[in-house]
DNA sequence: TCTATCTGTAACATCTACTATTACACTACT
DNA sequence: AGTAGTGTAATAGTAGATGTTACAGATAGA
């Protein structure tokens, strides 16, 4: 799994603490230590999925577009990392019973695992993340 | 996550289907399409944890050492990949509330996620994997 | 005791996915 | 017009996963 998921969480938390004004990718970059271009890439994904609004030009940037308690971590996972749990096992030997069937079996199991993970992540909303951050 | 976990599952399934004789790393390599040295590396980990027995020299190889229904996927995950879910977010800005606290918050959440994953994986024993493989 | 066949492991090479960086088009405010 | 932003493509750099080579040590059998 790449870190787009955690970067999305970080960015949205940052935006949640600046609810009244737009934040730039440079500001989020400074907070997260990640290059601004990558911030824009991940946030443009979040924009396409309606989590945030963006504005170009002077005074522009990113701002949260939904209620904090309406966005949960499973939503963010799906957008940024769905399928990341899937194992990489492609070219096993079809002549062998194990090689021929393992991929199908693992796929089933890992799909279930991701679904299971979803139930856990759904319980964390951005509101709760912000609360946890503030409990320094 | 690297593929040591799925490779361990593949290898043990292979051994489970050859319960009466030792299998070589070359045989498992042919079935899985993975280099024999890596097979030996992963299996030597499984040996140290008591899942299999090994024998060097002529006629040697690997053989399952436990009852199929006593080994579950969580056991294997712990040995091969524990902590793999953890996000990589180290150098965020400590001057910023978000940067300063995000790592702690994410650590908590991802530890919980892995624990949750564990409950799911515990339900799959090697016996069930073998049964699934045989349901071609 | 010699040889062939294994595992065990270290060292190195290669490959791939992630991340950073550069560059620039486009938008919007002043 | 000029400045400050996003949007995005293209390229470079890096780290981790994987493959490969090499060889020491164990064991069985001739």
pLDDT of residue A92: 79
The predicted-structure confidence for A79-123, as pLDDT tens digits, reads as follows 999 988 887 776 678 899 999 999 999 999 999 999 999 999 999
Mean pLDDT of B55-72: 97
Across the interface, which of B3, B13, B106 has its CB nearest the CB of A88?
Answer: B3
For A18 and C15, how far is CA from C1' in angstroms?
Answer: 43
pLDDT of residue A90: 63
pLDDT of residue B98: 92
Integer Cα distance of A44 and A46 in angstroms:
5
- Write out the H or E segment, with its range, that includes residue A54: strand A52-55
Which residue approaches C26 most closely, CA to C1'?
A: A56
Alpha helices in chain B (DSSP H): 4-16, 25-32, 36-48, 73-81, 97-121, 126-134
Question: For residue B72, what pLDDT band results from cuts at 50, 70 and 90?
Answer: very high
pLDDT exceeds cutoff 90 at A127: yes
pLDDT of residue B32: 96
For A128 and D1, how far is CA from C1' in angstroms?
Answer: 47
pLDDT of residue A1: 76
- Inter-chain touch B17–A99, beta carbons under 8 Å: no
The predicted-structure confidence for B73-131, as pLDDT tens digits, reads as follows 999 999 999 988 887 776 678 889 998 899 999 999 999 999 999 999 999 999 999 99
Chain B CA closest to residue A84: B1
Integer Cα distance of B94 and B112 in angstroms:
24
pLDDT of residue A88: 78
pLDDT of residue B1: 74
Which residue approaches C30 most closely, CA to C1'?
A: A58
pLDDT of residue B88: 78
pLDDT of residue B129: 97
Smallest CA-to-CA distance from B87 within B61, B69, B107 is with B107
The predicted-structure confidence for B7-49, as pLDDT tens digits, reads as follows 999 999 999 999 999 999 999 999 999 999 999 999 999 999 9
Smallest CA-to-CA distance from B75 within B123, B131, B15 is with B123
Contacts of B9 in chain A (CB under 8 A): 102, 106
With beta carbons less than 8 A apart as the criterion, state whether B73 and B1 touch: no
- Proximity of residue B57 CB to strand D below 7 A: yes
Across the interface, which of B88, B112, B113 has its CB nearest the CB of A3?
Answer: B88
What are the angstrom distances between the C-alpha of B69 and each of A64, B73, B84?
50, 11, 25
């Amino acid at each position: 799994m790449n870190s787009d998921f955690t970067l999305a969480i970080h960015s949205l938390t940052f935006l949640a603490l600046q609810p009244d004004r737009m934040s730039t990718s440079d500001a989020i970059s400074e907070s997260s230590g990640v290059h601004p271009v990558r911030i824009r890439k991940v946030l443009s994904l979040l924009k396409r999925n309606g989590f945030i609004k963006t504005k170009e030009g002077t005074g522009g940037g990113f701002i949260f577009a939904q209620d904090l308690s309406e966005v949960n971590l499973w939503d963010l996972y799906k957008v940024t990392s769905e399928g990341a749990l899937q194992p990489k096992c492609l070219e096993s030997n079809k002549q062998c019973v194990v090689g021929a069937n393992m991929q199908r079996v693992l796929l089933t199991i890992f799909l279930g695992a991701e679904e299971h993970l979803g139930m856990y992540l759904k319980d964390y909303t951005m509101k709760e993340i912000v609360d946890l951050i503030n409990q320094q």
